[in-house]
Amino acid sequence: MSLSALGSLLLASVLLVGSTTASAAAASDPSLFPRRTSSSESSAQQACTHLQSALGPIASATGNAALYNFTVHNAWNLQNTLYQPTCIVFPRAAADVQTAMRAIYTAGSHYAVQAGSHSGMQGWNTIQDGVLISFSQMQNVSYDASRDSITFEPGIHWGNATAQLAQYGVAPVGGRVGDVGTGLLLGGGVSFLSPSYGFAADNFISVDVVLVDGRLVTATATNQYADLFRALKGGANRFGIVTRYEVRAAHVGTPEETPFYGGLVLYNATESANVALVKAVAKYVKEVTDPNASMVTTLTTAIVNGLPQQYTWSFLMYNGSSLPPSIFGDFLAIPALDSQIGALTWTRVLPVGDEPSPGAATNSLRGFTQHFGGSALHGDEELFLNAYTRYKNFTETFMSAESAPSSGLNLTTLWFTPVLASQIEQGRLNGGNSMLSGSQTTPYAMAMLAEQFNAGLQEIPASVQDGMDLWLEQVPRSEGLPIFVNECDAKQNAFASYGEYEFLKATYMKYDPGRYNVEHQQGPMGL
Ligand SMILES: Cc1cc2nc3c(=O)[nH]c(=O)nc-3n(C[C@H](O)[C@H](O)[C@H](O)COP(=O)(O)OP(=O)(O)OC[C@H]3O[C@@H](n4cnc5c(N)ncnc54)[C@H](O)[C@@H]3O)c2cc1C
Ligand SMILES: *[C@@H]1O[C@H](CO)[C@@H](O)[C@H](O)[C@H]1NC(C)=O
Ligand SMILES: *[C@@H]1O[C@H](CO)[C@@H](O)[C@H](O)[C@H]1NC(C)=O
Ligand SMILES: *[C@@H]1O[C@H](CO)[C@@H](O)[C@H](O)[C@H]1NC(C)=O
Ligand SMILES: *[C@@H]1O[C@H](CO)[C@@H](O)[C@H](O)[C@H]1NC(C)=O
Ligand SMILES: *[C@@H]1O[C@H](CO)[C@@H](O)[C@H](O)[C@H]1NC(C)=O
Ligand SMILES: *[C@@H]1O[C@H](CO)[C@@H](O)[C@H](O)[C@H]1NC(C)=O
Ligand SMILES: *[C@@H]1O[C@H](CO)[C@@H](O)[C@H](O)[C@H]1NC(C)=O
Ligand SMILES: *[C@@H]1O[C@H](CO)[C@@H](O)[C@H](O)[C@H]1NC(C)=O
The CATH number assigned to the domain holding 336 equals 3.40.462.20
pLDDT confidence of 65, banded at 50, 70, 90? confident
Local structure of residue 82 (DSSP, 8 states): S
Residue with CA at minimum distance from ligand 7 atom 4: 353
Q: For residue 39, is pLDDT > 50?
A: yes
Of all atoms in ligand 7, which is nearest to the CA of residue 179? 5
Q: For residue 15, is pLDDT > 50?
A: no
Q: How many other C-beta atoms are found inside a 10 Å radius of the C-beta of residue 368?
A: 23
Nearest-CA neighbor of 518 among 504, 508, 507?
508
Residue 299 lies in a domain: yes
Choosing from 69, 99, 134, the residue where a domain stops is 134
CATH number, domain of 55, equals 3.30.43
Question: Do 149 and 247 share a domain, yes or no?
Answer: yes
Percent over 90 (pLDDT), the chain: 85
Domain housing 225: 141-254+502-513
Nearest-CA neighbor of 347 among 166, 156, 193?
166
d(CA 367, CA 147): 40
Question: Do 367 and 272 share a domain, yes or no?
Answer: yes
Q: Return mean pLDDT, the chain.
A: 91
Q: For residue 35, is pLDDT > 80?
A: no
12 lines ligand 8 (CB under 6 A): yes
Q: How far from 405 is each of 192, 269, 305, 311, 456, CA to CA, in Å?
A: 36, 23, 11, 20, 13
Put residue 282 in one of left, alpha, beta given phi > 0 → left and psi -120 to 50 → alpha.
alpha
CB 26 within 8 A of CB 128: yes
In this prediction, residue 358 carries a pLDDT of 52
Question: Do 218 and 82 share a domain, yes or no?
Answer: no
Choosing from 88, 119, 134, the residue where a domain stops is 134
In this prediction, residue 257 carries a pLDDT of 97
Question: Do 282 and 373 share a domain, yes or no?
Answer: yes
Question: Do 366 and 232 share a domain, yes or no?
Answer: no
CB 337 within 8 A of CB 267: yes
Q: Exposed, middle or buried, 214 (CB in 10 Å: 0-12/13-18/19+)? A: middle
196 lines ligand 1 (CB under 6 A): no
Mean pLDDT of 64-76: 93
Q: In this predicted model, what pLDDT tens digit does every residue of 176-214 receive, in sequence order? A: 988 999 999 999 999 999 999 999 999 999 999 999 999
d(CA 3, CA 244): 38
Q: Are strands 336-339 and 444-453 parallel, antiparallel or unpaired?
A: unpaired
**502: Cβ contacts below 8 Å, ≥ 6 apart:** none
Question: Do 8 and 125 share a domain, yes or no?
Answer: yes
Of all atoms in ligand 5, which is nearest to the CA of residue 250? 13
Q: In this predicted model, what pLDDT tens digit does every residue of 153-176 receive, in sequence order? A: 999 999 999 999 999 999 999 999
- Characterize 16-48 residue by residue with b for buried, 16 or more Cβ atoms within 10 angstroms of its Cβ, and e for exposed: ebeebebeeebeeeeebebebeeebbebbebbb
Better pLDDT: 384 or 62: 384
Of all atoms in ligand 5, which is nearest to the CA of residue 197? 14
Residue 525 lies in a domain: no
**317: Cβ contacts below 8 Å, ≥ 6 apart:** 192, 260, 261, 262, 263, 293, 294, 295, 344, 349
Question: Do 464 and 415 share a domain, yes or no?
Answer: yes
Residues in contact with ligand 3 by the CB-under-6-Å rule are 93, 140
Residues in contact with ligand 6 by the CB-under-6-Å rule are 290-292, 319-320
> DSSP string covering 96-138, please?
HHHHHHHHHHHHT--EEEESS----STTSS--SSSEEEE-TT-
Choosing from 93, 114, 134, the residue where a domain stops is 134
Half-sphere exposure of residue 271: CA atoms within 13 angstroms, side-chain side: 3
Question: Do 154 and 114 share a domain, yes or no?
Answer: no
Q: For residue 359, is pLDDT > 70?
A: no
pLDDT confidence of 428, banded at 50, 70, 90? very high
Question: Do 147 and 65 share a domain, yes or no?
Answer: no
d(CA 471, CA 469): 6
Q: Name the domain count of the chain.
A: 3
Residue with CA at minimum distance from ligand 8 atom 5: 10
Mean pLDDT of 336-345: 94
Q: Which of 53-67, 148-162, 476-490 has the lowest mean pLDDT?
A: 53-67
Q: In this predicted model, what pLDDT tens digit does every residue of 258-271 receive, in sequence order? A: 999 999 999 999 99
Question: Do 113 and 233 share a domain, yes or no?
Answer: no
397 lines ligand 9 (CB under 6 A): yes
CB 276 within 8 A of CB 330: yes
pTM value is: 0.93
Q: For residue 147, is pLDDT > 70?
A: yes
Question: Do 177 and 56 share a domain, yes or no?
Answer: no
Q: In this predicted model, what pLDDT tens digit does every residue of 455-476 receive, in sequence order? A: 999 999 999 999 999 999 999 9
CATH number, domain of 249, equals 3.30.465.10
| Distance (Å) from CA 399 to ligand 5 centroid | 42
Q: For residue 295, is pLDDT > 80?
A: yes
Question: Do 120 and 78 share a domain, yes or no?
Answer: yes
